[in-house]
Amino acid sequence: MVSAVIGFPRVGKQRELKFASEKYFRGEINKQELEKIAIELRKEHFIYQKEQGITYISSNDFSYYDGILDTAVLLNVVPECYRALKLNELDTYFAMARGYQGAEGDVKALAMKKWFNTNYHYMVPEISDDMKIELVGDKPFVLYQEAKELGLETKPVIIGPFTFLKLAKYQGTKKAKDFAEDMINAYSQLLEGFHKLGVKWVQFDEPILVTDLTGEDIELFEQIYQRLLKRKGNCKILLQTYFGDVRDCYSNIIGIAFDGIGLDFLEGKKNLELVKQNGFPKDKILFAGLLNGKNIWKCNYKNVLEIKKELQEYAEQIVLSTSCSLLHVPYTLDSETKLEQEVKQHFAFAVEKLAEMKELCYLAESSDYTKEQVYLDNQQICESERKYQDKEVQKKTALLEEKDFTRLPKRAERQELQKKVYHLPLFPTTTIGSFPQTQEVKKNRSSYRKGEIDKVAYDKKVFELIHDCIRKQEELGIDVLVHGEYERNDMVEFFGENLAGYIFTEKAWVQSYGTRCVKPPIIFGDVKRIRPITVEYSSYAQSLTDKPVKGMLTGPVTILNWSFPREDISLKEMAYQIGIAIREEVLDLEEAGINIIQIDEAALKEKMPIRKSDWYSGYLDWAIPAFRLCHSGVRPETQIHTHMCYSEFEEIIRDIDNMDADVISFEASRSKLTILDAIKDSEFETEVGPGIYDIHSPRVPSVEELEEVLKKLLTKIDKDKLWVNPDCGLKTRGIEETEASLKNLVEAAKIVREKAEKC
Ligand code: GLN
Ligand code: ZN
């Protein structure tokens, strides 16, 4: 058996590409210097793969920012506003990625969107009616040749025409199908180029095939490929899918003249069944995605080899492949110097996964792999009793019952009681939690981390900052205060550090978008709260003021979604374990006199299953209860808030209401009013604070502007249910603009309140 890799991480082991790009943005290095670093990185990545004997190595998986953006530029899909800047090619590219402000003009970046169910984000191509889609670049050719010069025959990978068209945003009246002709021509030219270079295999990534498709979609897909494949010359074509199964179009794709089909047998629940039911064409190679490209656990060889055996009955030629690009996992365990061996032995990052592929290929050829040493070693680790198992936690989770998820009395009754207890004015003002993370705040944290100051000195500073923050908010006249979150800069790490079962890495960075990388912690064992996490900060803040101070926690679904999860227990169990830990914190806060508690679920929607039919069986059916578990034990007068960072939740509006919070704040300033209609139409019971200005920009909104927003909101939201707040935490903003904006926010609320009270 031979192996294939769908794509390799690009930013570099030490995030070299990130740092080089940022230097380039600041003008500290020039284009040639940046390119030199990129070439070195690509070379390093090719060598890693070559050393492990990977047969089908991808080229063109490298990108300075994002692969979809690369394809847009390659196909001439460059909106006029960027062309008008008249920058060189690379700078135009970066202008599309990051926006541009300079003498040449002022343009915003293209929109950015989450890449399927991952935490990677792609740039959304914008196609206007007058655009001429055609092949204008040569990056895939150049990168192929670069590898060739290193003695490697690679398979160029490129996002497929169908997925590209489906992900693009259309500015005019034309739609995807109106551009099909141009796309076929452009991709034909691409194939012609590959043919001329002697390329043997080309990989077209079509992940959109794992989403719910209409008959029309499938027709368009077939139409494109039936024509395109006539022009493939000597190149063999691999249709690559990942992140799910192809249940809507399996029979269609096996009927098209692809030479290879790549299916994900890990996340693609139905793929195995589809192969069994419909068979697999003899003349095609099955690229079987069996090695997890998304998680960091050592592969269990037994499982892989067993599925492979099953597949063998249907497919004659099988290539062992990753389930998706390795872009979604960190580089290498070699960079982790602090992990204990007992823990470390369970992990495989990108480089280690290559070695696993090599071993698997070897085992697949063995007459009895169960006797091979590498197999036995693997099984020993995979089956061993893991550290950080906690029987007590397991028992607690197993014993949860309906009443643990149900808060009493009913919300309407609670809300009425809370109105009496808190005497908040109409349209109460508040913020989402964090205040600006100034140099001073960051310095305090880094000095503590480096051991330059001790915990006492560190906390002293944090308390000072909290003190000033409370005074500032009182001065501004805000109604429900926050402590400012100076003790954290991350919504998950801070909590994880106080939870047993969590593991932290040093260098396990994963690209989130462009130059931004995240370092998700790992849920290694059963999760349990070790000690109170936020209580001392919140109670100190409350001791300084007569106004209510909101306690500030991250919810279980967000903590889970921003971590690498375990694979030996279900997501539901993990969410419930974390839920119990947060519940303990909620109850401690309440006990300490914090009567308003916000539990953020910024990432609730992030891991929503790709297919609608899976939303309620395997996600929302535990995600919503996990949240309820956190707060069902509080007193009726304790007010529970939640916050979400996106407002595209129209489709699950009832589920959000069903979280049974008393108040929700969310981002609304950018995605406008559709969410408000949904709130109105669904008779949403939770009180709402749609963000009235965008904190992602340093702009200070005027009082008049905010008043207008509030008036608009009042056309859709009941006046006793409306809260007034920015759309997200203020941690990335500067102090000056923050204070100015909040001052205007309070003023606008006051004006609108006075008017409302009069009538
Ligand atoms: N409470 C957090 C903050 O204000 C929420 C952050 C978020 O929604 N991403 O920073
Ligand atoms: Zn937010």
Residue nearest to atom 6 of ligand 1 (CA): 729
Mean pLDDT of the chain: 96
pLDDT of amino acid 697: 79
What's the 645 CA to ligand 1 centre distance in angstroms?
8
Task: Count other Cβ atoms within 10 Å, centred on residue 79.
Answer: 17
Q: Which amino acid is present at 102?
A: G
Ligand number nearest to the C-alpha of 668:
2
Q: CA 531 → CA 482, 523, 595, distances in Å?
A: 22, 18, 20
What's the 486 CA to ligand 1 centre distance in angstroms?
12
Residues 435, 730 contacting (CB under 8 angstroms): yes
pLDDT of amino acid 672: 62
pLDDT of amino acid 699: 86
Ligand number nearest to the C-alpha of 669:
2
Ranking 113-117, 299-303, 537-541, 647-651 by mean pLDDT, the lowest is: 647-651
Q: Which residues 6+ apart lie within 8 Å of 327 measured at CB?
A: 7, 8, 9, 10, 61, 120, 293, 510, 511
pLDDT of amino acid 385: 86
What's the 599 CA to ligand 2 centre distance in angstroms?
11
Please state, in angstroms and rounded to a whole number, the distance separating the CA atoms of residues 54 and 8. Answer: 12
Of 119, 431, 434, best ligand 1 pocket probe by most atoms within 8 Å of the beta carbon: 434
Task: Count other Cβ atoms within 10 Å, centred on residue 548.
Answer: 21
Residue nearest to atom 3 of ligand 1 (CA): 729
- List, chain by chain if needed, residues with CB within 6 Å of any ligand 1 atom: 432-434, 485, 491, 552, 600, 602, 643, 645, 728-729, 731
pLDDT of amino acid 494: 94
Secondary structure of residue 195 in the 3-state scheme: helix
Span 70-82, average pLDDT: 98
Q: 649: pLDDT confidence band, cut at 50, 70 and 90? A: confident
pLDDT of amino acid 694: 85
Residue nearest to atom 10 of ligand 1 (CA): 729
- 729 CA closest ligand 1 atom index: 4
- 728 CA closest ligand 1 atom index: 8
pLDDT of amino acid 235: 97
Residues 265, 290 contacting (CB under 8 angstroms): yes
Please state, in angstroms and rounded to a whole number, the distance separating the CA atoms of residues 749 and 587. Answer: 32
What's the 701 CA to ligand 1 centre distance in angstroms?
20
Please state, in angstroms and rounded to a whole number, the distance separating the CA atoms of residues 213 and 222. Answer: 13
Nearest-CA neighbor of 292 among 419, 228, 382, 231?
Answer: 382
% the chain with pLDDT above 90? 94
Ligand number nearest to the C-alpha of 488:
1
Q: Which residues 6+ apart lie within 8 Å of 231 measured at CB?
A: 188, 191, 192
Q: 648: pLDDT confidence band, cut at 50, 70 and 90? A: confident
Q: Is 413 exposed, middle or buried (0-12, 13-18, 19+ CB in 10 A)?
A: exposed
pLDDT of amino acid 758: 86
Span 191-207, average pLDDT: 98
% the chain with pLDDT above 70? 99
What's the 648 CA to ligand 2 centre distance in angstroms?
13
- 731 CA closest ligand 1 atom index: 10
Nearest-CA neighbor of 25 among 118, 120, 91?
Answer: 91
Rg (CA), the chain: 27
pLDDT of amino acid 489: 85
Task: Count other Cβ atoms within 10 Å, centred on residue 282.
Answer: 9
What is the DSSP-derived secondary structure letter of residue 296?
-
The distance of Cα 62 from the centroid of its chain, to the nearest Å, equals 20
Of 490, 549, 643, best ligand 1 pocket probe by most atoms within 8 Å of the beta carbon: 643
Nearest-CA neighbor of 63 among 11, 25, 13?
Answer: 11
What's the 435 CA to ligand 2 centre distance in angstroms?
13
What's the 29 CA to ligand 1 centre distance in angstroms?
34
Q: Is the bond preceding residue 409 a cis peptide, omega within 30 degrees? A: yes
What's the 728 CA to ligand 2 centre distance in angstroms?
4
Please state, in angstroms and rounded to a whole number, the distance separating the CA atoms of residues 318 and 304. Answer: 13
What's the 520 CA to ligand 1 centre distance in angstroms?
17
Nearest-CA neighbor of 564 among 490, 609, 508, 619?
Answer: 508
Examine the pLDDT at 155 and tell me if it is beyond 90: yes
pLDDT, tens digit, for every residue of 220-277?
999 999 999 999 999 999 999 999 999 999 999 999 999 999 999 999 999 999 999 9
Q: 527: pLDDT confidence band, cut at 50, 70 and 90? A: very high
Q: Which residues 6+ apart lie within 8 Å of 131 measured at CB?
A: 76, 77
Please state, in angstroms and rounded to a whole number, the distance separating the CA atoms of residues 221 and 239. Answer: 12
Q: Return residues with CB closer than 5 A to ligand 2 (ion).
A: 645, 728
pLDDT, tens digit, for every residue of 678-731?
999 999 999 999 999 988 778 899 999 999 999 999 999 999 999 999 999 999
Q: How do 639-644 and 596-600 pair as beta strands?
A: parallel
Residue nearest to atom 4 of ligand 1 (CA): 729
Q: Which amino acid is present at 64?
A: Y
Residue nearest to atom 9 of ligand 1 (CA): 602
Q: Domains for the chain: give ranges and CATH numbers.
A: 2-383 (3.20.20.210), 427-758 (3.20.20.210)
Examine the pLDDT at 187 and tell me if it is beyond 70: yes
Examine the pLDDT at 583 and tell me if it is beyond 80: yes
Nearest-CA neighbor of 625 among 596, 590, 654, 660?
Answer: 660
Residues involved in catalysis: 696
Q: 673: pLDDT confidence band, cut at 50, 70 and 90? A: low
Measured in Å, how far apart are the chain's first and last C-alpha atoms?
78
Q: 646: pLDDT confidence band, cut at 50, 70 and 90? A: confident
Residues 58, 3 contacting (CB under 8 angstroms): no
pLDDT, tens digit, for every residue of 93-114?
999 999 998 899 989 889 889 8
Please state, in angstroms and rounded to a whole number, the distance separating the CA atoms of residues 313 and 303. Answer: 16
| Threshold 0.85, pTM exceeds | yes
Span 641-655, average pLDDT: 90
Please state, in angstroms and rounded to a whole number, the distance separating the CA atoms of residues 163 and 82. Answer: 23
Joined together, the tokens standing for residue 596 give 């308003």
Decide which of 695 and 14 is more confident: 14
